[in-house]
Every structure is written in structure tokens, then in C-alpha cells.
Chain A
């Protein structure tokens, strides 16, 4: 997730009352009933300081500042909106319960990001481990998609990936593949970190990542090449 700790997020805290974005007129009327100050802009650091002292509006400010990134991370890792909302809620609850311990050694967004990843991984482990071993959890079946023909030179994808197709393809990855792909290629975690977090070997993390990339490559090429490749399903992967 990254983030510049020096960046001052000039978000008008008072434009959010509850979960509703208020118009200027509504803000004026609402100020009488709320403790918001319409002209006040907080930096993230100021909001953190206030939240550490229990300030209700500071928590709300921080929530609105980071909700999209946390929710997106949860959704990309799970591929399920209901689960993503539950996990985003859990991540923010854990964040706010622990906010008193935040000392600013790392960026707040980095801290929140790591915490959110841990929440999702704990959830995925609870969900998958009792039912299915990791290999089975991540191995696609034979009919999961077309195979690449040996020796065939595919047109490269460079410059042809649109965002909607990419989001859809990531969503269609088998859960274990998706988790490792999101952590490594999207969020920048190293294999040793992923192995530690997921309780698997480094080799396993590398192997799953390679399979995830291959699967994603296939999924992205399906619209253009599905017909041409239908007859090549007996080939083997690179």
C-alpha cells in the first residue's frame, strides 16, 4: 500500500457525518448537532493523535481516509464482497483497538496494510486448512483452462491489458494462487515473508506464484485466443 508519511491528507472531516456525505448546506445545519467544525482540516498525524486519546471523529476520519484501500486489499485477496467487508471491519477494529501503541516508527498506512494482510491471511488459513491441504487448495483442475502449446509463440500482452479484464482475471484465480499473486506481485511482499505469513515453504510460495502468473496469463488471453487455442488443449504448460 505504501504511502508518504509526510503527505498531509486534507480531508474535510466534517463533510462525513456517520456514513453520509453531507452537502455544504447540510453541514451548516448539522454542525449545531455535531461536534464537527466545518472549516477544519486535519492531517493524518493529527487525526492519529486525537484517536489515541479516544476522539470519536478522529476514528471516523481515519476510517474514511483508508477504507477504500483496506477494502480493496481484502476484496482482491478473497474475491468475495461479503468476506471483504467482514475482514475490512475486523482490520479497522484491530487497528483502532491498538492505535494507542502506534509510535510512528513506520508510516501509518504501512502499519494498517500489514495488519489488514494478517487479518485476511488468518481468515484464509482458518477457512482452508481444516478442509483442504494447500496444494489441493491451489492446484487448478485439468479443465480449469486451456493449455499452452509447446513451441507456440503467443502474442505478448504488453499494452493490451485493460483494467476490467485484469480485475476479472485476478478474481477468477484459484484462492491460493490469488493470495500469493496479490501479496507478491501487487503488494510487494518477498517470498520469505509470504512463506512465514502463510505457513508454507519459500519454494512452495515461488511455485504457487509461477502457477498463478501462468494461470493469469491464460485467463487474460482467453477472450482473444479462446477459439484458436481450443484445439490445443492437449499441450503442456511452459
Chain B
């Protein structure tokens, strides 16, 4: 297997164990591709654990609320019409 073919497979699987046999064989012969996979796995693992970024600006909600009120999606007086929810104990 050539490096180009390996790259195509790599775009679909990230876990080394999920690679087809021919691709695993290529890894044992090609240090470059093996190093790339190591790094991709490390990056993928890190990005999956990134926390959410900062909050949006504080006035975003009032802007959204005003649009929804104008459109009648929420009540203009801010009053709830639904029955009170159950208390969570």
C-alpha cells in the first residue's frame, strides 16, 4: 500500500485498531504514516475533551428575546402562561 492510499483510509478511521489489515501492514513499514497516525490520534483525543469556549456577550439574550416578542413567539409582557412546573426535590 502506498502512503496516498493509506491517507484515504485514515480519513475514515482514527483508531489504529479499526484500520484494515493492509493499512496496519503499511504502518509497520512506514514510519512517516505511523507518526502521522500517532499525532492524529493525540489531536483527536485532545479536541474531544476541549471545554466550551467563553460565553457570548451578555446582551445577546435581550436581543433574541426582543425579536421573539415582536414575532409573538413569546409573550410580550414576559408572563408565563404554562402551569407552574413541579418542584425538583
Whole-angstrom distance between the Cβ of B31 and the nearest chain A Cβ: 5
A150 CA to B31 CA in the complex, in Å? 10
CB neighbours (8 Å) of B55 from chain A are 67-68, 71
A39 CA to B86 CA in the complex, in Å? 11
Q: Judge whether B18 is part of the interface by a CB distance below 8 angstroms.
A: no
Q: Are B42 and A161 closer than 8 Å at their CB atoms?
A: yes
Q: Are A163 and B85 closer than 8 Å at their CB atoms?
A: no
Q: What per-residue 1/0 map shows which CB atoms of A45-83 lie under 8 Å from chain B?
A: 011011001111111100110011101100110000000
Chain A residue at minimum C-beta to C-beta distance from B41: A158
CB neighbours (8 Å) of A63 from chain B are 61, 64
Whole-angstrom distance between the Cβ of B9 and the nearest chain A Cβ: 9
Q: Are A54 and B56 closer than 8 Å at their CB atoms?
A: no
Q: What per-residue 1/0 map shows which CB atoms of A139-183 lie under 8 Å from chain B?
A: 000000000101101101111110100110010000000000000
Q: Judge whether A207 is part of the interface by a CB distance below 8 angstroms.
A: yes
Among A20, A39, A55, A57, the residue within 8 A (CB) of B87 is A39
Chain A residue at minimum C-beta to C-beta distance from B3: A238
Q: Which of A23-31, A105-113, A127-135, A208-216 contacts B (4 or more CB under 8 A)?
A: A208-216
- Total count of chain B residues near the partner, CB < 8 A: 54
Q: A19-B58, A186-B47, A209-B11 are in contact. Are A158 and B88 (CB under 8 A)?
A: no
Among A41, A50, A56, A216, the residue within 8 A (CB) of B43 is A216
Q: Judge whether A117 is part of the interface by a CB distance below 8 angstroms.
A: no
Q: What per-residue 1/0 map shows which CB atoms of B26-41 lie under 8 Å from chain A?
A: 0000011101101111
Q: Are A96 and B42 closer than 8 Å at their CB atoms?
A: no
Q: Judge whether B17 is part of the interface by a CB distance below 8 angstroms.
A: no
Q: Judge whether A8 is part of the interface by a CB distance below 8 angstroms.
A: yes
CB neighbours (8 Å) of A41 from chain B are 87-88
Whole-angstrom distance between the Cβ of A93 and the nearest chain B Cβ: 6
**8 extra A-B contacts, CB within 8 A, seeds A88-B56, A93-B67, A206-B12:** A10-B88, A34-B78, A43-B85, A89-B60, A156-B42, A161-B43, A185-B43, A185-B44
9 smallest beta-carbon distances between A and B, as pairs: A206-B11, A55-B80, A158-B42, A19-B58, A68-B52, A156-B38, A72-B52, A46-B85, A50-B82
